[in-house]
Amino acid sequence: MNGLLEGNGRANQSWVPALDVWETEDEIVYAVDLPGISEEEISVELADGALTITGERERAREESDERFYRYERRYGTFSRTVGVPQGVTESDISADYKSGVLEVHVKRPDQPKPKRIQIGSGAGATIEGKSEQK
């Protein structure tokens, strides 16, 4: 079963959901596939310039006489961390969860504009500098 089962027959509890990233003029969008997970089981956190999405998908415990030969759907906890642009704050982030897809929208921060620095002092000073010979 290609490593899906561990030594005692338990399914591996670690998995990573699929992630798409795209950008518009105003924002970056992160879309994560999380089918079968309720909104209450998902956490989105911003810390140190990184966005971390965590959660847990539980396997339904049903008693039946049916035998299962293959478990390919992953269950258990997951964590996915992606970087965000420098200067992003919590107020720049919003999230929507519909039909098993979490979309996190990150507003692009304003880029700092270069500032001119005057060299010297007084009205005769210029940005290029001025050399006078006596």
How far apart CA 31 and CA 21 sit, in angstroms, is 6
Structure-token match 């992606």, residue found: 82
Q: Report the pLDDT value the prediction gives residue 96, as an integer from 0 to 100.
A: 96
DSSP-derived letter for residue 127 is S
Q: Report the pLDDT value the prediction gives residue 57, as an integer from 0 to 100.
A: 85
Q: Report the pLDDT value the prediction gives residue 59, as an integer from 0 to 100.
A: 74
Q: Report the pLDDT value the prediction gives residue 29, as an integer from 0 to 100.
A: 97
How far apart CA 56 and CA 39 sit, in angstroms, is 10
In order along its 134 residues, the chain shows pLDDT tens digits of 334 444 444 444 478 899 999 999 999 999 999 998 999 999 999 999 999 999 998 876 655 667 767 767 778 899 999 999 988 999 999 999 999 999 999 999 887 778 888 887 766 555 554 555 55
**pLDDT (tens digit per residue) in 52-87:** 999 998 876 655 667 767 767 778 899 999 999 988
Give the CATH class of 1-129. mainly beta
Q: Report the pLDDT value the prediction gives residue 131, as an integer from 0 to 100.
A: 53
In the chain, at which residue ranges do the beta strands (DSSP E only) sit? 19-23, 27-33, 42-47, 50-57, 76-83, 93-98, 101-107
Q: Where are the domains of the chain?
A: 1-129
Q: Report the pLDDT value the prediction gives residue 20, as an integer from 0 to 100.
A: 96
